[in-house]
Amino acid sequence: MGLKIYIDGKYYQKEDAKVSVFDHGLLYGDGVFEGIRTYDGLIFKLKEHIDRLYQSAHAIMLEIPMAKDEMVEAVKKTLRENEMKDAYIRLIVTRGIGDLGLDPRKCSKPTVIIITDKIKLYSQEFCEKGLEIVTISTQRNIHESVNPQIKSLNYLNNILAKVEAINAGVEEAIMLNSEGYVAECTGDNIFMVKGDALYTPPIHSGVLRGITRGAVIDIAHLKEIPIHEEVLTRYDLFNADEMFLTGTAAEIIPVIKMDRRKIGDGKPGKMTAKLITEFHKLTKVDGVRF
């Protein structure tokens, strides 16, 4: 029995799960999405992901044709249909089928897609030994364009940044904002440790309000680790004691080298290890059963 994919209330086998070539999600990247994870039968931070999806949609004036609780039920049902306990969920809402023009008014009904897939992780080696990253020249979007808080289907800017990372022989890259301050990586938020405190760029530096970022901030508050949302430069990062990235797929992943500079002693740090342990504890309890 193959993977069943939800499209507009019906289930399709993977080979048959298709959208129209007139869907504006395909034609223009006009739509929004979420990446969510389940741990041993618990959906992690489901409410936060659903809220962010609806906020992204609201920002682009896309009215999702179902209430939030119906969306939650559809996600749970798709996981049950596929009998998956540990999954990566991709929730997509496109503008829907229109004509070849840009006008979203021509799209009468948004398309809702739910894919539950296996999780593809950074290799064990990266998790244990840490990542090397570089700063690249593609800037993070400015607020006046596609606001970085909108998790839109138009990820070309991030893909360009990822291409630069790959060209430099690494897996991730730091994107700066138009003022030259550190924003985030192509698909992850960034943190540094200096002394006994944690630092991460504020939302206004041009970052996605990452849900894993939020979980790390919550853990810091709980464990009384000072946490500062502060504008950061590359200089600050070069001189950090530890560095790590956060994201739904990556979870918390240590960074040991940036732009050829060793970070701290060049090994994943103690604070990072402590946060990884606390994060894993959280995933075991902080979830919605399906």
Question: Which residues in this chain contact ligand PMP in the complex, by CB under 6 A?
Answer: 35, 158, 184, 187-189, 208, 210-213, 246-248
Amino acid making up residue 32? V
Q: Which is nearer to ligand PMP, 35 or 41 (CB)?
A: 35
Whether residue 7 contacts residue 90, with contact meaning beta carbons closer than 8 Å, is answered with no
> Minimum distance from CB of 12 to ligand PMP (Å)?
25
> Minimum distance from CB of 218 to ligand PMP (Å)?
12
> Minimum distance from CB of 211 to ligand PMP (Å)?
4
> What is the DSSP pairing of strand 197-200 with strand 251-258?
unpaired
Q: Which is nearer to ligand PMP, 98 or 201 (CB)?
A: 201
Residue keyed to tokens 């979420």: 34
Q: Which is nearer to ligand PMP, 34 or 242 (CB)?
A: 34
The whole-angstrom separation of Cα 85 and Cα 229 is 34
The whole-angstrom separation of Cα 232 and Cα 191 is 10
Count Cβ atoms below 10 Å from residue 155 Cβ, excluding itself.
Answer: 16
Q: Which is nearer to ligand PMP, 110 or 210 (CB)?
A: 210
> Minimum distance from CB of 162 to ligand PMP (Å)?
10
3-state per-residue secondary structure call for 21-88? CCEHHHHHCCEEEEEEEEECCEEECHHHHHHHHHHHHHHCCCCCCCCHHHHHHHHHHHHHHCCCCCCE
In the residue annotation, 151 being an active-site residue is answered as yes
Catalytic: which of 151, 162, 267, 274? 151
Catalytic residues: 151
